[in-house]
Amino acid sequence: MRTYQPKAKEVKRKWHLIDAKGEILGRMATKIATLLTGKHKPSYANHMDMGDYVVIVNASQVEVTGRKRKQKVYRKHSGYPGGFKEVKFEKLIEERPERVVQHAVSGMLPKNRLHKKRMVRLKVFAESKHQYQDKFKSKN
């Protein structure tokens, strides 16, 4: 018996549309990370980029549990003195809801050299309108 190794040209990428309206952020992010890595495919190989494209709509209507809406804080540092910045979840979901979903999904993907390639295939939109409509109409 020989172990099957998929080739790069054999990878078939599908498009998935996910409506974030009323979805819990963390639970939705785990499903999206699985689709981006390709773990749902029977031919999955962890050293290859096998994942699909994921389009998320209505990111502004994503839900969080508990008191996270008021208490969750996103922190970053530029590396320079005084370069520490904090943004609360409430403010970020109002101004840039796409960033909230991207941050959650990015945190659930493995931190390796495929991370950026997988994140490029993630398309997040605050409202229900997006430019990838044709990718889904051809399948129906």
Give tens-digit pLDDT for 14-28: 999 999 999 999 999
Residue 57: inside a domain, yes or no?
Answer: yes
Amino acid letter at 80?
A: Y
For 10-112, strand residue ranges (E) read: 15-19, 53-57, 73-77, 84-88
Give tens-digit pLDDT for 23-63: 999 999 999 999 999 999 999 999 999 999 999 999 999 99
Residue 32: inside a domain, yes or no?
Answer: yes
85 has pLDDT over 60: yes
Residue 39: inside a domain, yes or no?
Answer: yes
Amino acid letter at 2?
A: R
Query: For residue 137, what pLDDT is reported?
Result: 73
Residue 73: inside a domain, yes or no?
Answer: no
Helix (H) / strand (E) element for 104: namely helix 97-108
Query: For residue 138, what pLDDT is reported?
Result: 58
Domain count, the chain: 1
Instruction: Say which residues have a Cβ less than 8 Å from residue 5's Cβ, sequence separation at least 6.
Output: 45
Residue 22: inside a domain, yes or no?
Answer: yes
CATH number at residue 124: 3.90.1180.10
Domain residues for 46?
Answer: 14-67+97-129
Amino acid letter at 88?
A: K
